Structure 1
Amino acid sequence: MNYHAYYPVDVVNGPGTRVTLFVAGCEHQCRGCYNQSTWRLDSGHPFDAAMADRVIADLTDTRIPRRGLSLSGGDPLHPANVAEVLALVKRVRAEAPDKDIWAWTGYTLETLTPPQKALVEELDVLIDGQYVEAQRDANLVWRGSANQRIHRFERGSQSPSTGV
C-alpha cells in the first residue's frame, strides 16, 4: 500500500484533533474529486512499518490529545489496500483503544466484499458513496455530495446507524 499524505495533527477530517492518512488508489475516479493525485495505486510513498509506528506514536502522544484516526485517499477500501489498512486499524484498536476510527470510501455499504466488510467492522464511522459533482453541497458535514452517507457503528454491532 502507498500513501499520499499524513497529517499528525488534523482538525478537518473528523471531529476533534486527529491523525489522518490519505492512502493511494481509487477505482471510482469521481468527476470533480478534490484529490485526483491519489487515484493511482503506485503513486505516493510506501506505507511501511516505520510509518505504522509513527501513526501509533502520534495517536498515543499525550502532548497533543487526539480523538482518533481518519483514513481517506484515494480509497482505504480499495481492494489492494484492505489488508494493510485492516492491519493498521487492528493495531490502533490494540494500542490506542480509546481512539475512534473514521474512513471515507467511494464504495457503498451494500456493495462491500467480505474483506471490505471485515475492515468496516473495525470502524466507528464510515462515510460511503462516490462523490457526485451534481450533488455537491458545501454545507454538508464530513462529506462533499448529498448522496454520501455517514454510518456510525457501535463496537461489536454489525448494524449501522445511518444519518448525517
Structure 2
Amino acid sequence: MRYHNITKDDMLNGDGLRVVLWVAGCSHCCKDCQNPMTWDPNGGILFDESAKKEIFDQLDKPYISGITFSGGDPLHSANRADVKSLMAEIKVKYPDKTIWLYTGDSWENIMNYPLMKYVDVLVDGEFRVDKKDVTLLWKGSSNQRVIDVQATLAQDDISVPVLHCGDHDDIPMGRETATVPVADIEENIVNFKGSSRKCCDA
C-alpha cells in the first residue's frame, strides 16, 4: 500500500479529533474530486513501519477519537489487504478508538468484505457534482451515506450514527454512539470525498 499523507488533530473527516490516512489509488475518478493526485495507486510513498508508528503515536493520545481511512480509496484493490491488516491491529491495540472509512463504493457491494467487521462508520458512494451540498455533514453530495456499520450488520437494515458535532455535550460520540434507522432520521448526517469536509457550519 502507498499513501500521500497522514493528517493529525483532524476535525473534518469524522467525529472528534482524528488521525487520517490518505491512501493512494482510486478507480472511481469522480468529476471535480478534490484529490485527483491520489488516484494513481503507484503515487505517493510506501506505507512502512515508520508510517504505522506515526499513526500509533497519534492514537496513543487520549483526546484522539480514532482513525479515518480516506484517499484515494482504501478499498482499491492495491490497498484492501493492507488496510484490513492495519485495521485489525488498531482494533486490538486501541479498542476504544473508532475507525471511519471513506470509499467511492456502495455499501451494498462491499458489505461482505471481511474488513467491515473492524469499521465503525462507513461513508459510501462516489462524489457527484450534480448532488453537491456544502451543508451536509461528513459528505459532499447527497447521494452519499454515513453508515453505522456494526449496527447495520447486526440488524440487516442500514443505520446512521448520531455523531458529536461541535460543542454539544448531549450528543454521544466515539464507541458510545447511538444508532437509528435511516428511515427515521433526516438526511443531514452523511458522506463526502475529499479533504475539506465540515462538521458544523457556524
Deviation at 1:154, TM superposition (A): 2.8
Q: Aligned letter for 1:23?
A: V
TM-score by length of 1: 0.91
- Residue 152, structure 1, aligned to residue 160, structure 2: no
Deviation at 1:80, TM superposition (A): 1.2
SS class of match (1:121): helix
Contact 2:151 2:159 in 1 (8 A): no
Pairing partner for 1:107 from 105, 108, 117: 105
Q: Aligned letter for 1:136?
A: K
Which residue does 1:123 correspond to in 2? Answer: 119
Which residue does 2:169 correspond to in 1? Answer: none
Distance 1:30 1:80 in 2: 18
Number of matched pairs: 160
Give unpaired runs (5+ residues) of structure 2.
Answer: 161-181, 183-188, 190-202
Describe the superposition over 1:142-161 as per-residue Cα deviations: whole angstroms up to 9, x where unpaired: 00111001111237945441
SS class of match (2:105): coil
Distance 1:112 1:150 in 2: 14
TM-score by length of 2: 0.75
Which residue does 1:74 correspond to in 2? Answer: 72
Distance 1:156 1:138 in 2: 26
Pairing partner for 2:130 from 112, 115, 134: 134
- Residue 96, structure 1, aligned to residue 94, structure 2: yes
Give the 4+ runs in structure 1 shifted more than 3 A.
155-160
Describe the superposition over 1:111-155 as per-residue Cα deviations: whole angstroms up to 9, x where unpaired: 2285xx111221000000001111100011000111001111237
Identity rate, percent: 38
Please, what is the CA RMSD of the aligned residues?
1.7
Indicate the structure (1 or 2) with the bigger Cα radius of gyration. 2
Distance 1:133 1:96 in 2: 37
Q: Aligned letter for 2:26?
A: C
